[in-house]
Structure 1
Amino acid sequence: MPMIDQLTIPKQIDTSLGPEYNALRTEGMQHIRDLASAIWSDYNVHDPGITTLEMLCYALTDLNYRITLPVENILAVDHDNANSMHEQFLSAIKILPTYPVTPDDYRQLFVRIDGVRNAWIKKSPHSIIANYKQPDGKPLLRYAKPGENALTGKEVKFDLKGINDILIDFEDFPELGGDVAKIKAKQDDIIKQIKSVYHYFRELCEDLDQVKAVENQEIVICAEIELQPQADPEMIWARIMFNIEQYLTPDIKFYLLKELLDKGMQPDEIFEGPVLDFENLQGIDTKFTKQGFIIPAELAASQLRTEVRLSDLYRIIMEIDGVRLVKRISFGFCGCTAPQSEVADKIYKSNEWLLCVQDGHKPVLCETNSSFTFYKDVVPIELKQSEAQADLNQLRKDWQDNVEAKKIVDLPIPEGDYRDIAHYETLQNQFPENYGISPLGLPETATTEQRSLALQLKGYLLFYDQVLANYFAQLSNARILLTADDSIRKTYFSNTVNGIRDAEKLLDGYAQWEKTVDDVIKETGQDNYPERKNKFLDHLLARFAEQFNEYVFLMYRIYGEDYQRNIIRHKVKFLKDYDQMSICRGSGMDLYNAKTPDQQLVNVSGMEKRISMLLGFSNYKMQQLSVEDYLLFKADALHYNWTISQLGVVKFKGNANFLKEIDAYEDLGLVSVLACDRENYRLSPGATAGKYVYNIANSAGTLLTHNDMEFSAAAIETEIAFIIKFMQNDFKMEGMYVIENILLRPPFDYTGDDSTHHQFMPVCLDPNGVYCEPLDPYSFRICVILPGYSVRLRNTAFRTYAERLIRTETPAHVLPRICFIGHDQMVGFEAAYKDWLAAKHIAVSTDTPIDPVLNSKFIDVLEKLYTVYQQGQLSDCDDDTQETNPIILNKTSLGTLQGGTNNNS
């Protein structure tokens, strides 16, 4: 089978004809010879045709020069250029970091809190045992005790995943003077800040168990050290102590952006990791006082040390300037209360070379019992302890001052220089003066014929002028074409040709010429704005590896071309909010930090935000979906119709009656889309003189609504703007809830006693010990709840797409249970969820158990939810009426969407 050539765009394009005037002229001359050699043979420079060719070549070189300007110059504007560039592009600090994903990501955030020297996040070990040998056949669940195993033939055990503990290495707080009560209060405040940060950035399906201080394991070091003759013993002692501290429990080093760039790190490496834009975080009060950059490899190397090697200590001491020789060194664990000399003798005799640190502990130097003896040659040196301690304190202060001096700055966006690319002067002014078309014009003695010929030439050249002027305008507006903005609804731009003498003699209405050219482009249909703007937006989406292709095809299938402009709006909204769409895509809801009402509305998981935008929902706010802003009703015994309301006032009424309920819903859905765009509104005189009514029309001009409310000419535009804003941002037609199962677990001190009213979620485990995978109902499990009765989610094709998208966008390690529930179910669910959410927020923020009755009630409601399907009908073979909806396996039900029992077919 013959190979099919692949059509590709070459990476290297020959642009030699662009900048080279001579090359363009040569190419033009060849075209003249090919096309007109039979009637034109004089190609000398004095020929008017050759002169015209040369002028056009010059204009093209000017155009090419502007095309090849640096991109930042092409995109620059003449005022507030810096702000314009930041609107056009997401800076490094906004697009490269993400919410924390790995333990080290969380650590980067924790160590920025004042008073935290280091922090570690560990898995909290908790397991559940299910006893399946129960009289009623229902498994009995309880938390396993430490080290407890399941009884063979009676129980099964599974580990809870996603539960974390945080260990904190607090700073010493020398400013508190050793006051135990003040230090305890300071540490408690830091623990609250740690919890605040964790819950603000909490990953989906994970939760926090304990936050506690890491315990110390003291190590005694004894050494005899010979110094150089000129060495300062006090400073040597201070450096030894400081360097050993950094070895045992290293502090995190912070850097400036310039320092990392000088190290050869690339911007994507520097900004990799958790969020750095601390100034713009909303809904969290924690202050991140340490704001330098952190090198991930250095952070990873600062894990809790599991062993201490004597050879490492020897190396650390020998690397200090002024140390000549380590005569002998030994170490061991502290715990001896004997005099220092006896401890030293015992340590030297131990001959240990490796100490294993207890799990979950940090090794620290026991200053009380550690002994460092210094010599210069054979003479022992007596340390001035106060001076040595002062030197050590200064080293610690210098380190802390260096940390506080480091600040995070964004990578600057190139701003470019504004070059007024759109400005174009007519090429007619470049012709020799004897042509009579330059600004000087013709002499007063010129005849009428000469003036007419000059105007004829001007008119001929004006065609080229206008084409070139439009090219310059198009290049100048590249910024508008490649931006997530649909306020300027055109993709072809025109320009006025400047500098033409007697232009008013060539063109009627020259002052409005630019508008005239725009009107010509629009009337001839050359600028298909919806199609071309969608392509530009697809290009921008592709730069983030995003696409709406399947969604677009599906919406065309349901609504046709009428949905095209709405797709533009969805893409623009997605791109404008893309930093949030990408930065927190794996995050969960914040249940700890206090929120303002507006912040609480958008306090949802990252996947909810992203999926809502990809599905074209009007917003991702937490709103009551059981109270709709629309109503579908029986217009008469056979027909359906609908209304759309805003704040209880009907704004739109359907203009047609439908035999099929699903057709009425699709008509309602189409109007909800068209009502988002002013171009789809039609005004007509009302019954009262000077009053007007508005209605919605589709692309064919057919009115889809009727309305009796009358407004004045000024008031009706205000009303329409109010409705458009509502339809775009607040119209309650669709939405979703994501429930994380791990948040429904009983407190870890629950023993399974029914008297406490706590409840485990049910497991799929039969009395013979056979169970469905996965048995664990909590770990990395979510429930996604959507209104199966809403306009688009009734549509089988859209529902299938929505379910597939949800599974695609859900983090790979999380298993979703997806339910498209009925209206009655949604009413019950939202009531239980509202109560549970309020109680859970109080429980998490106060570190107290949730009300077990509310928690159990919500579990019961959640477990009883099921997907509802569009009603189908069974009929005989001869029944072909319009109301017949076939029964399709797993796609229809015997019942209604409004309530009652739906039996899945």
Structure 2
Amino acid sequence: MKEINYIIDEPLPITQDFKSLKQEGLAHIQEVSGNEWTNLNSSDPGVTILDQLCYALTELGYCNDFSINDILTNADDKLIIKDQFYLPKEILTTAPVTINDYIKYIVDEVDEVENVIIVPKQSSLSYSKGTYSVYLSTKPIITNSIAIATICQTVFYRLNKRRNIGELFLMPLQLEKVIYTVSGILQLNNEAEKNTTLASIQNKIRNYIFPKAIQEEDNQLLLEGENSDTLYNGPEMRHGWISNENLGKKKNTITTNNLITLLLTVENVFNVQNLKINNTENNDTATATLTQIISFDLSQLEITYTNTKNDNEENKIQSLDLSFDDSIDSQTSLPTGTFRDINSYYSIQNTFPDIYAVGANAINSNASDFQIAQSRQLKGYLTLFDQILANQFSQLANVPQLFSFKNGITGTPSELQKFYATKTPNEKIHLEYPVPFLCFAPTYFYQPLYSIPNIKPLLKNNNAFNFSLETRTKNVAEEMSWKKFKEDPYNAYIKGLQDLIEDESINLKRRNEMLDHLLARHGESPLLINSIIEGSIYTGNSSKDKIIIKSLYLQNLGLLSYYRYQGYNYLGAKKIENLKKDIPLNLEQLLIDVSSVRFYLEPEDNFNIPKNEKFENDFIFNTNKVDQIEKTRKQDFINYAALELKTTILLSLKTPYINHLECVLSTIDENECTQCKNTSQENAKCKTCINQLEQIHQCLWFLKERKGFICIENCLLYPTANSIIITQSTLEGPYYTIEDSLNYPETISLYMLLENPTETTINAKTEIDLSSTQTSIVINDTISYNLSATAFNDESANWTKITCNEVDYFITMYQKKISENNDTTKTITLIFPDYISYFTNDYFKNRLELLLENTLPIDVTYNYQFASQKTLCDLIPAYINWHNDITFNNLAYKKTTETANALINILTNS
């Protein structure tokens, strides 16, 4: 349908009402000039100037009323989204947090799984808290044991990939079928429909016992009025949203009445008689435990038929096993806008009558010097208004930059684009944007007015390029000179505009306030963020540092918010490189290593690079480079907990290390040690040199491998250490140590077997099969976990028989040493080097505690340590060995006791 344009006769806003603007202007003139200005008619030149300015203001007012969609639309008619807004799926969703979240996540991620049961592991064992058992309901067509094992492995990996900090998931198991035989008479309408009807009955029963989680299309739900906050509350779903109501609950009890009701709802079932559930006490109830699922064998049903027959194809029963289209497009549609070239400015001098001699054709070659002087004098007066108006248009055009997560680098973006547009591809390869155009996080924008007719003579140093080695005509020479002047970012006009517009203190204050607004708009408390980052260092200027850190946090908020409580993926994290132990005698190589950390580049890329070149250009801080270096990626959440990445940004942990490294390097002479006075070849014998070089290696390792600190989750550390059994006979022993090291799932499984009240006896010859899910301990010739008597208080302790009823504690020896009564599982330990003074002052500790208390889940506790250089020499290698061991050897069930014990020893004794 063709759009019809028409004008509604209603009052204009004053910003677009020429008459109202002119009346206000005249009133102001009369108030200021008094009796000095008496002719306020249109014939007066001053009133003519007022007319032109009012017309220009109505244009600005018109542009100010553009919709925000139009203002945020690029020249290619695409809305500017990046670094402006987060889409609902990016900012409202979170990685799984609750049990229901994890169920939805697995159903969406693993096609073969129809529903999931996740329950906390019930045990008095302290480090089993935060541990979850998982039971799967898979598609009925999957019966192969190898396929089921593969599905369980897949779910195990996916769950621990998205586990919350301080929590773990045990290896999932398929729900065990408890089969009951059903007998009775089933009367059908049609013999031809027998097989289809029986299949429909099985589907109906299966969906009643444990329904398949139902996924719905997001877009359709939004159209139907579903609240977006509800729709996106939980993990991002690939195949459609699952409401809590559509998750379905497993039924552990089914009666004959339930079955009869179900059967009668199936099409083609006419009647049910004498229905009984066999294998039960009263033949009327089927039951199952948490880990079991009820299933019925219908083969014993006697099937009869009525005299009616229905051959209508429309009445045939179809399978209830529905499948969903994997190609559901749940991306919400984005608003659209129209590009408006707001920044383009048309000078008011173009609209004056020719008699004013300020337009393009106002002055000709026959004009006298006096006429030219008059024209230029008026042009200079009008250009002031032109500049103010043009800057206002620039301010409006740069609203996207003004409220961007990223900090701007220039107050005149239009000139930046023109500068690059004039360069050849070869020139652009190593081209840096000229310093005079650069500005740190500008909040006021402007533009030069080279398009004003005959403006060149009014600009300072406009003849700077009036020279050439080539022979040219006067007109060509002037044209070339003018072109070079406009392309020169160092010309006096641009510098004058910059000095006039930009006041750094005002810019910094305004930018901080705008970033606070953006933080609040995304649910982050500016007061809290300011308290945490107060004192974090980047440039040394407190206001600039806050701007840089807030900007970085906002740019990465989408991922940090989504993975807010997530721990690192101990099944898939990258291998941590070893701490260098060799002592390099080449200072140049040390400088290269430090440089590589500063810029996150490979060492070979940093030869001969001055240390500040990447971050500063004539003392203008390069925020774009910082944004690139500090960008958080999805891969980072595999290698680090979200807490680690958030802490690194908000507390700016990189800079203290860099400053310390440079301070240490400045005290080392390449050829002679200031302490031992020996040459570089003998420096390895000097204790001072060794200490300094060890610190350098440790700092480089912290920066390259751990984002500035070590974070250890007790739920991963303690279960892999040596475990002991303490009997009730005495808390002082005897103790029974499990000689074979156990991985985490094995440790929990063994304890659960021991904890149950059975009369099974454990002795030195017993072999324990941890693959058993029963309460008794099964002897197996293939898997053997030996127990031996260990007397911590009695060297003569021998083997005795222990029943499960006598087991008092089953804990790791080091966990007992730290705390026998407190839950140490959901605790994290943060470790920093103590020789960097930035970390050890009370101000940093207070900010760290504030961050941890407002970031960690409420049930996760923390402690932090400041380790000495000597302790770190032992602790870092122990941490590396343990981390790499559980990451790369966990699925192979290689035992990690030795590395875990070594790390715990250092932690508890430091």
What range is the shorter-chain TM-score in? Answer: 0.5 to 0.7
Question: Take 1:235 and 1:560, find their aligned partners in 2: how far apart are those partners?
Answer: 74
Alignment of 1:314-713 (within 5 A): 332-335=276-279, 352=284, 357-370=288-301, 375=306, 379=307, 395-396=319-320, 399-400=322-323, 403-414=324-335, 416-441=337-362, 452-486=373-407, 488=409, 489=439, 490-497=442-449, 499-508=451-460, 509=462, 512=485, 516-523=492-499, 526-528=503-505, 529-544=507-522, 545-547=524-526, 548-555=529-536, 562-593=541-572, 595=574, 603-618=639-654, 631=664
Equivalent pair of 2:252/2:290 in contact (CA under 8 Å): yes
Question: Take 1:781 and 1:92, find their aligned partners in 2: how far apart are those partners?
Answer: 33
TM-score, L = length of structure 1: 0.65
Say if 2:164 is the partner of 1:203. Answer: yes
Say if 2:772 is the partner of 1:841. Answer: no
Question: Take 2:357 and 2:904, find their aligned partners in 1: how far apart are those partners?
Answer: 90
CA drift of 1:299 comes to 3.8
CA drift of 1:274 comes to 1.5
Q: Could you tell me which amino acid in structure 2 is paired with residue 857 of structure 1?
A: A
Partner residue of 1:74 out of 48, 71, 75? 71
Structure 1 gap ranges (5+):
1-13, 129-157, 175-179, 277-290, 337-345, 643-647, 649-663, 673-725, 766-770, 866-905
Question: Take 1:731 and 1:590, find their aligned partners in 2: how far apart are those partners?
Answer: 15
Q: Could you tell me which amino acid in structure 2 is paired with residue 858 of structure 1?
A: L
Equivalent pair of 2:515/2:550 in contact (CA under 8 Å): yes
Question: Take 1:304 and 1:435, find their aligned partners in 2: how far apart are those partners?
Answer: 88
Question: Take 1:421 and 1:843, find their aligned partners in 2: how far apart are those partners?
Answer: 61
User: Could you say what secondary structure the match of 1:187 adopts?
Assistant: helix
Cα–Cα, structure 1 residues 428 and 307, in superposed 2: closer, same or farther, change >3 Å?
farther
Equivalent pair of 1:741/1:783 in contact (CA under 8 Å): no
CA drift of 1:255 comes to 2.5
Cα–Cα, structure 1 residues 594 and 604, in superposed 2: closer, same or farther, change >3 Å?
closer
Question: Take 1:193 and 1:122, find their aligned partners in 2: how far apart are those partners?
Answer: 19
Cα–Cα, structure 1 residues 239 and 764, in superposed 2: closer, same or farther, change >3 Å?
closer
Cα–Cα, structure 1 residues 792 and 371, in superposed 2: closer, same or farther, change >3 Å?
farther
CA drift of 1:86 comes to 2.9
TM-score, L = length of structure 2: 0.65
Say if 2:122 is the partner of 1:125. Answer: yes
Other-structure match for 2:729: none
Equivalent pair of 1:73/1:416 in contact (CA under 8 Å): yes
Q: Deviations over 1:743-797 (max 9, x none)?
A: 41258996462261767154679xxxxx98x923433122222222224113332
Partner residue of 1:92 out of 81, 88, 95? 88
Other-structure match for 1:656: none
Cα–Cα, structure 1 residues 27 and 366, in superposed 2: closer, same or farther, change >3 Å?
farther
Partner residue of 1:306 out of 234, 252, 257? 252
CA drift of 1:197 comes to 0.2
Equivalent pair of 1:255/1:406 in contact (CA under 8 Å): no
Question: Take 1:51 and 1:727, find their aligned partners in 2: how far apart are those partners?
Answer: 72
Equivalent pair of 1:252/1:298 in contact (CA under 8 Å): no
Say if 2:739 is the partner of 1:756. Answer: yes
Cα–Cα, structure 1 residues 444 and 747, in superposed 2: closer, same or farther, change >3 Å?
closer
CA drift of 1:603 comes to 0.8
Question: Take 2:569 and 2:68, find their aligned partners in 1: how far apart are those partners?
Answer: 41
Other-structure match for 2:141: 173
Other-structure match for 1:133: none
Other-structure match for 1:858: 903
Question: Take 1:78 and 1:27, find their aligned partners in 2: how far apart are those partners?
Answer: 36
Say if 2:16 is the partner of 1:48. Answer: no
Equivalent pair of 2:352/2:358 in contact (CA under 8 Å): yes
Question: Take 1:519 and 1:800, find their aligned partners in 2: how far apart are those partners?
Answer: 44
Question: Take 1:610 and 1:213, find their aligned partners in 2: how far apart are those partners?
Answer: 37
User: Could you say what secondary structure the match of 2:293 adopts?
Assistant: strand
CA drift of 1:409 comes to 3.8
User: Could you say what secondary structure the match of 1:127 adopts?
Assistant: coil
Cα–Cα, structure 1 residues 21 and 382, in superposed 2: closer, same or farther, change >3 Å?
closer
Q: Percent identity?
A: 21
User: Could you say what secondary structure the match of 2:71 adopts?
Assistant: helix
105-114 or 291-300, which deviates more: 291-300
Cα–Cα, structure 1 residues 469 and 634, in superposed 2: closer, same or farther, change >3 Å?
closer
93-102 or 437-446, which deviates more: 437-446
Say if 2:174 is the partner of 1:213. Answer: yes
Other-structure match for 1:720: none
CA drift of 1:425 comes to 0.4
Question: Take 1:329 and 1:452, find their aligned partners in 2: how far apart are those partners?
Answer: 114
Other-structure match for 2:128: 160
User: Could you say what secondary structure the match of 1:119 adopts?
Assistant: strand
Q: How many residues align?
A: 680
Other-structure match for 2:824: 778
Other-structure match for 1:113: 110
User: Could you say what secondary structure the match of 1:745 adopts?
Assistant: helix
Q: Could you tell me which amino acid in structure 2 is paired with residue 753 of structure 1?
A: Y
Partner residue of 1:815 out of 861, 882, 890? 861
Equivalent pair of 2:164/2:566 in contact (CA under 8 Å): yes
Cα–Cα, structure 1 residues 61 and 828, in superposed 2: closer, same or farther, change >3 Å?
same
Other-structure match for 1:247: 208
User: Could you say what secondary structure the match of 1:168 adopts?
Assistant: strand
Say if 2:896 is the partner of 1:827. Answer: no
Alignment of 1:212-291 (within 5 A): 212-218=173-179, 220=182, 239-276=200-237, 291=238
521-530 or 801-810, which deviates more: 521-530
Cα–Cα, structure 1 residues 258 and 318, in superposed 2: closer, same or farther, change >3 Å?
farther
Question: Take 2:228 and 2:207, find their aligned partners in 1: how far apart are those partners?
Answer: 28
User: Could you say what secondary structure the match of 2:225 adopts?
Assistant: coil
CA drift of 1:273 comes to 1.0
Cα–Cα, structure 1 residues 567 and 123, in superposed 2: closer, same or farther, change >3 Å?
same
Equivalent pair of 1:612/1:619 in contact (CA under 8 Å): no
User: Could you say what secondary structure the match of 2:57 adopts?
Assistant: helix
Alignment of 1:177-192 (within 5 A): 183-192=144-153
Alignment of 1:145-156 (within 5 A): none
Question: Take 2:121 and 2:841, find their aligned partners in 1: how far apart are those partners?
Answer: 44
CA drift of 1:422 comes to 0.7
Equivalent pair of 1:218/1:364 in contact (CA under 8 Å): yes
Cα–Cα, structure 1 residues 533 and 863, in superposed 2: closer, same or farther, change >3 Å?
same
Other-structure match for 1:141: none
Cα–Cα, structure 1 residues 160 and 49, in superposed 2: closer, same or farther, change >3 Å?
same
Structure 2 gap ranges (5+):
1-10, 410-438, 463-481, 578-634, 676-680, 682-691, 726-734, 742-810
Equivalent pair of 1:373/1:381 in contact (CA under 8 Å): no
User: Could you say what secondary structure the match of 1:463 adopts?
Assistant: helix
CA drift of 1:303 comes to 2.1
Q: Could you tell me which amino acid in structure 1 is paired with residue 517 of structure 2?
A: H
Cα–Cα, structure 1 residues 634 and 292, in superposed 2: closer, same or farther, change >3 Å?
closer
Other-structure match for 1:873: none
Q: Could you tell me which amino acid in structure 2 is paired with residue 68 of structure 1?
A: D
CA drift of 1:567 comes to 3.9
CA drift of 1:54 comes to 2.8
Cα–Cα, structure 1 residues 741 and 531, in superposed 2: closer, same or farther, change >3 Å?
same
Question: Take 1:629 and 1:744, find their aligned partners in 2: how far apart are those partners?
Answer: 38
Equivalent pair of 2:156/2:171 in contact (CA under 8 Å): no
Other-structure match for 2:604: none
Question: Take 2:163 and 2:642, find their aligned partners in 1: how far apart are those partners?
Answer: 10
CA drift of 1:633 comes to 8.8
CA drift of 1:171 comes to 1.2
103-112 or 244-253, which deviates more: 244-253
CA drift of 1:470 comes to 0.9
